[in-house]
Amino acid sequence: MKRTMFRCLPVVLVVLWIGACADKPADERDEDMSRPATFGFQTSLHQTLIDEGKITYERYCLGCHGAAGDGAGEAAVFLNPRPRNFVTARFKFSSTRSGQLPTDDDLRRTIKNGLRGSAMPPFNLLSDRKVDALVAYIKTFSPEWTEREPASPVPFVDDPYGEEGRAEAVARGEAVYHGFASCWSCHPAYVSEARISDYIVQFGGQPREVFRPGLYESDGKANDEGEMVYPPDFRRDYVRAGMTVRDIYRSVSAGITGTAMPTWIDSIDVPGKSPGDPPVVSQKDLWAMSYYVQELLRQRPPLFDEGQVSVRNRPRPIYLHGAPTPAAPSEAAPTSQPDVDFEF
Ligand code: HEC
Ligand code: HEC
């Protein structure tokens, strides 16, 4: 009798363990193999994954992110923005709130898609296994991954517009961007001052006449490491974490760790004046602003005129491959830039 019980024990444990996983909601389920599990054999599987990750890392990532993961690889001095320092475990682009650790899916997405407008290349030819291994290995550079609770993505609201509602979303997005969220306090404004004032009144504010100098350019903000970061001017710059409406929605709702870009999903709910009134602004407006931002991104000219350099690139302009290199560092744009393919 006793012996049968012992024989059954592993089966019982596995059944209990599967049961425990099934109870969790989909977004909290630990689908990833990169977290050590408590069973001995799984810990060694995890170590194998880390060992594999190290090999891939040393082949593809070390030159920029450094052997110690501190973002100080050989190439780092030439790069602006600089490669991420994995030791501090502060990741910018995630579905989690600004300041929190990213999810494994966030890291996988960054590795597979790269970060456009920075040196971080897309590694979309690596197998899923290799990407999982990289994720596991990157985490060994910082104790934060074991000391801090894993974070969950911010609540996800369904897109109320869709492609057929694009025009409505863009119009609403323009109003919320300028009249409620004041995104122009860091990013540029894209409508006249009088129009902004009208939008502010539309959301219940006082008419406004005085705006910051340089309203139509982005305003540099220091990041946590004391470096000047220019918020993108959506008509001129790339956004890094992807250009689909969903990608933009993620960046806007979750915010960007270590920079001035806030977690908007926490500050966008304003109920109507009386019960039954529609809300003044709601989380759905994050979608409207995402459509609006994408519309601005689509206006980016394939070629810039001479002298037009994006403000964001000013500290150290990065010239595209094939463009003539200027004799001395200056703000002058190269006379011709190759056509940039631009897909959504
Ligand atoms: C040519 C240089 C270069 C190489 C090679 C490179 N990276 Fe990066 N990586 C960067 C730069 C630059 C950034 C920071 C971009 C920014 O701040 O917007 C970055 C950022 C990241 C981030 C952080 C994203 C976030 O949310 O903060 C991760 C993760 C990352 N890289 C992983 C990798 C991995 C894994 C490899 C190898 C497979 C790799 N990188 C190879 C330059 C590089
Ligand atoms: C307090 C300043 C500030 C405000 C206000 C602000 N942003 Fe940002 N935003 C930033 C900074 C700084 C970055 C750039 C971070 C970086 O690349 O290092 C940024 C980046 C972005 C990005 C690019 C993400 C990517 O993938 O590269 C989007 C999209 C964006 N902001 C949208 C918005 C919208 C929409 C609003 C208004 C609802 C807004 N921001 C308000 C500072 C701000």
Domain end among 147, 181, 214? 147
Q: Examine residue 44 and state whether it is found in any structural domain, yes or no.
A: yes
* 74/167 same-domain check: no
- Which range marks the domain in which residue 201 is found? 163-297
Helix (H) or strand (E) holding 23: helix 2-23
174 against 332, higher pLDDT: 174
The conformation of residue 219, written as its DSSP 8-state character, comes to -
Domain count, the chain: 2
Confidence class for position 228, pLDDT limits 50, 70, 90:
confident
Residue of the CA atom closest to atom 14 of ligand 1:
83
Q: Examine residue 16 and state whether it is found in any structural domain, yes or no.
A: no
* 135/197 same-domain check: no
pTM of the model: 0.81
Strand partners, 93: 256
Ligand with the closest atom to the CA of 111: 1
Give me the percent of the chain exceeding a pLDDT of 70. Answer: 76
CB 57, CB 134: distance < 8 Å: yes
> How far is the C-alpha of 244 from the C-alpha of 113, rounded, in Å?
12
- Does the CB atom of residue 333 touch ligand 2 within 6 A? no
Confidence class for position 20, pLDDT limits 50, 70, 90:
very low
Domain end among 122, 147, 172? 147
Q: How far is the CA of 183 from the centre of ligand 2 (A)?
A: 8
> How far is the C-alpha of 335 from the C-alpha of 162, rounded, in Å?
40
Listed range (84-88, 285-289, 338-342) with the worst mean pLDDT: 338-342
Taking 3-state DSSP, the helix, strand and coil percentages for the chain, each rounded to the nearest 5, stand at: 40, 0, 55
Q: How far is the CA of 256 from the centre of ligand 2 (A)?
A: 7
> How far is the C-alpha of 86 from the C-alpha of 275, rounded, in Å?
48
What tokens does 244 get? Answer: 């689909």
* 137/240 same-domain check: no
Q: Looking at ligand 1, which atom is closest to the CA of residue 126?
A: 38
Q: Examine residue 49 and state whether it is found in any structural domain, yes or no.
A: yes
* 174/134 same-domain check: no
Four-CA torsion 61, 66, 72, 78, nearest 10 degrees: -40
pLDDT of residue 301: 76
Count H helices and E strands in the chain, helices first.
10, 2
Domain end among 280, 297, 314? 297
Q: Examine residue 178 and state whether it is found in any structural domain, yes or no.
A: yes
Q: Examine residue 24 and state whether it is found in any structural domain, yes or no.
A: no
pLDDT of residue 149: 86
CB 102, CB 95: distance < 8 Å: yes
* 191/266 same-domain check: yes
* 68/43 same-domain check: yes
Query: Residue 134, SS3?
Result: helix
What tokens does 229 get? Answer: 């970061």
257 against 33, higher pLDDT: 257
* 193/287 same-domain check: yes
Q: How far is the CA of 173 from the centre of ligand 1 (A)?
A: 31
By residue count, the chain amounts to 344
> How far is the C-alpha of 54 from the C-alpha of 56, rounded, in Å?
6
Q: What is the pLDDT of residues 231-246, one digit of tens each?
A: 999 998 889 999 999 9
> How far is the C-alpha of 185 from the C-alpha of 177, rounded, in Å?
10
* 174/135 same-domain check: no
Helix (H) or strand (E) holding 229: strand 228-229
pLDDT of residue 229: 81
- Does the CB atom of residue 178 touch ligand 2 within 6 A? no
Q: Of 51, 138, 149, nearest to 88 (Cα)?
A: 138
Q: Examine residue 248 and state whether it is found in any structural domain, yes or no.
A: yes
Give me the percent of the chain exceeding a pLDDT of 90. Answer: 56
The CATH code of the domain that includes 48 is 1.10.760.10
CB 73, CB 64: distance < 8 Å: yes
Residue of the CA atom closest to atom 34 of ligand 2:
183
* 181/243 same-domain check: yes
Contacting residues for 252 by C-beta, under 8 A, at least 6 apart: 264, 286, 289, 290, 293
Q: Examine residue 8 and state whether it is found in any structural domain, yes or no.
A: no
Tell whether the model's pLDDT for residue 292 goes beyond 50: yes
pLDDT of residue 26: 44
* 177/128 same-domain check: no
Residue of the CA atom closest to atom 8 of ligand 1:
120
* 174/219 same-domain check: yes
* 132/223 same-domain check: no
Confidence class for position 91, pLDDT limits 50, 70, 90:
very high
Q: Examine residue 215 and state whether it is found in any structural domain, yes or no.
A: yes
